[in-house]
Structure 1
C-alpha cells in the first residue's frame, strides 16, 4: 500500500468517528480524524454552507482535512457547489441544503439566472421561493422556472391524484350486503358458500337459492367543494399542495370545486384549475391576512349549503376582524355547510398557528388540525360523507 493512502473504515467505531468528524467540522472536534479524498470534498461542501471562515479551496481542504467555507455571491462558485452536493448527498439531503443556502446566505438573486435554476434539485420549498420571486424573474428565466415548478407539480400529482380519486370516488358501498343484488354486484364467493347445501353432484353445480352481493350506492348528489387558501408567506408549502389537490378535485365529475386564495385581498382561481402550474403562478405569496374577508367571499358563492364542504387552509393569524371570522364560520355551519380548517397542508410536522382562534373554532364544532398531503384524501372523503373527520396530527 502506498504511503499516505487512507484506510477505509473497517469497524463501526471507525464509521462513527468519520460521521462525527463530518458533522463537527474538524475544529477541535475531538475525533482525531483527518479527511481525505471524497470525504474531504463532502466536508468542503458542508463547510461552504455552514461555516463562515474564508474558503481555503478544495485542494487545501484535502491536504489539511480542515473545513473551509464560503459561497459568497459568485454564480459559478454556487453552481459548482450545487453540482457537488448532488454528487455527494441523497436528494432529500440536497433539498435541505439548498433550502438552507437560500435562507442563510440570501442566494435568491442567483435563482433569477436560468443556468443556476437548472442546476438545483426541485422540491416544494424551491417552488415556494420561485413563486415569491416571480415578479423579479427575467424573461430568460421564466420558462426555466415554469419547468421547475411543473416538475414538482407533476411528481405531486403522480403521488396523490390516483389515491385521491379512488378514496373519494368509490361506486360501491362495501359495508352494505343485500340478498337481491344486481347481477354485476353479486359476491360469488359468499353466494357459493351460502348455498353449499344445495350442491347437486350429478350436475357438479350449486343451485343458488340465495344471492349475496353488495348494495350499489345511490347515485350521488353532486357536492360543492370550496378550498379557501391563505397565501401568506408562512403558508407557501400548503399553497403548492392545495393547487395540486384543487386540480385533482376539479377533474372529478361528482364534485364542483372552487379555489380561492387570499391575503388582504381575495382572488378566485377556479377558472385556472385545469393547470395547477398556472394556479401557482397566479398566487401572490406574502403580505397580510384577512380571513374574514375571504370567508365572506366564499359564503357569497354558496348556493347549496347542505351539499357544500368549505376547507379553510390557514394558520389562523387573522389580520382582519376576528369576531367576524368566527361569526361567518358559525353562520355557515348553522346553514348546513361542512367546514374544515387545516392549519397546514404539508409534510413539515407541527405548524405555528393561532391557538386561541383554533380553540374558538373547535368550540363551534369545527375541527382545526394540521394535515399531511397523504392524509388529505381521507379527510375530504369523511367531510363529503358527513362522517367524523379523522384528525391525523396536531388536532385541536
Structure 2
C-alpha cells in the first residue's frame, strides 16, 4: 500500500462509514473490525449513539476487540468515553467486564465510586483491577518517594555539633575547603557536619487529608498510595484522613493501599472545616508536622470557620499545604476565592503531579521553600 492509499485508509477509519463515498475506501479484514469497534462507540449522524448493546457479553467482546487493535493509552481513552457516552457504569458491575478492561487510575476512581453497590461476584474482580493499578503506581513512585523523604529527614536531623562517631567527614571536608592550609596540606574544620543520629524514633509527622468529592477521584487514588508508602518509613508518623460531610480515619489500613482505597467513598459532599478539626486533634508536635489538604476547596460547610481553623494550625507551627489536585489531569477546577484566602494565611494552594510530590514533601519536611509548579 502506497503512502496516498494509507492516508485514505486512515481518514476512512477516522471519519467512519458516512465518509465512505468521499474517501472511496471500504475497510476489509482487520480494518473492518477496527471500523466496527469505533462505530459502536462514536456512531455517526447527529444524535446517534453507539451500538454496544445493553448486555455485558456485547461490551466484553467490544473491550476485547479494542485491546487487540489499539495501544493501551488509546484503549483507556475509549473506555472512559464509553463510560461517559454510553452509560456503561452499571455494566461495570459485571465481573466479566472487569476482567476485560485495561486498568488505569480513572477506572479505579469509577470502581471506588461503585464500591458500595458492587455485587459479591464483582468485588474480587474490582479489587484485582485496583491492585494491578496500585502495583504499577508503586513501581513508578514508591522508591523515589522513600528516597526523597529519607534524604529530607536525614538532612533535617543532621547535627551542627556532632559526636565524633556521628561526623560526616565527606560533607565536613567539602564544607571547609576554604580553610585548606597548603603548607600543612590539611583542612581546618571550623564547622563539623554530622550524620543524622541513627534512630527509629519518629522525626516528623505527615497528615494527608483527602477530599472524597467525585471530582477528586484520581487525587484520592494517588494520595492513598503515597500514604501507604510513607507509612512504611519508621521515622515518619503518617496519618490518612478522608472526608465528605463526615470524616473517616484510614490510618489503620495503611499496611495495604488497596484497603485504603476501598475505605474511601467517592462522590459525597464536602465539609473541609470538619476534616481540619479532626486533623487538629491528630497533631502532637506542630512544629514537626506537615498537613497536606488534597481538595478543590469547594466548601460545603462553614467557610469562615474553616479559614479560621486553617489559620490556627499555621499559628501553632503546622506547615499546611493545599493541593488542588494530586493527579496528571492538568489545571483543576477549584474555588479561586478560597485558594486566595488560604494564600493570604501563608498556605500555598496549587496542583501537583504525582511525579513531583516526593520532592514537594521532602522540601516541606525540611521547611524549605516549596517547589511550586
Class of the TM-score when normalised by the shorter of the 2 chains: 0.7 to 0.9
Instruction: Tell me the distance in 2 between the aligned counterparts of 1:126 and 1:306.
Output: 38
Match of 2:345?
364
Would the aligned equivalents of 1:382 and 1:388 in 2 still touch at CA under 8 Å? Answer: yes
Correspondent of 1:338 among 319, 326, 336: 319
* TM superposition shift of 1:313: 0.1
Would the aligned equivalents of 1:181 and 1:214 in 2 still touch at CA under 8 Å? Answer: no
* TM superposition shift of 1:74: 1.8
Question: Scaled by the length of structure 2, what TM-score is found?
Answer: 0.87
Match of 2:137?
156
Instruction: Tell me the distance in 2 between the aligned counterparts of 1:102 and 1:224.
Output: 39
Relative to 1, partners in 2 of residues 1:313 and 1:135: Cα closer, same or farther, differing over 3 Å? same
SS in 2 for 1:294: helix
Unpaired runs of at least 5, structure 1? 1-7, 54-66, 199-206
Match of 2:37?
45
**Rg larger in 1 or in 2?**
1
Unpaired runs of at least 5, structure 2? none
Match of 2:196?
218
Q: CA RMSD in A?
A: 3.0
* TM superposition shift of 1:214: 8.9
Instruction: Count residues with an aligned counterpart.
Output: 358
* TM superposition shift of 1:186: 4.3
* TM superposition shift of 1:354: 0.7
Would the aligned equivalents of 1:295 and 1:328 in 2 still touch at CA under 8 Å? Answer: yes
Would the aligned equivalents of 1:173 and 1:215 in 2 still touch at CA under 8 Å? Answer: no
Match of 2:14?
23
The one-character-per-residue Cα deviations of 1:187-210 (angstroms, maximum 9, x if unpaired) are 49x89xx89989xxxxxxxx9744
The structure, 1 or 2, with the larger RCO (C-alpha pairs under 8 Å, 6+ apart) is 2
Question: Scaled by the length of structure 1, what TM-score is found?
Answer: 0.82
Matches within 5 A, 1:371-386: 371-386=352-367
Relative to 1, partners in 2 of residues 1:176 and 1:135: Cα closer, same or farther, differing over 3 Å? closer
Match of 2:26?
34
Matches within 5 A, 1:1-396: 8=1, 10-11=2-3, 13-28=4-19, 30-51=22-43, 69-170=50-151, 173=155, 185-187=168-170, 209-210=186-187, 215-219=193-197, 222-392=203-373
Instruction: Tell me the distance in 1 between the aligned counterparts of 2:84 and 2:308.
Output: 38
SS in 1 for 2:260: helix
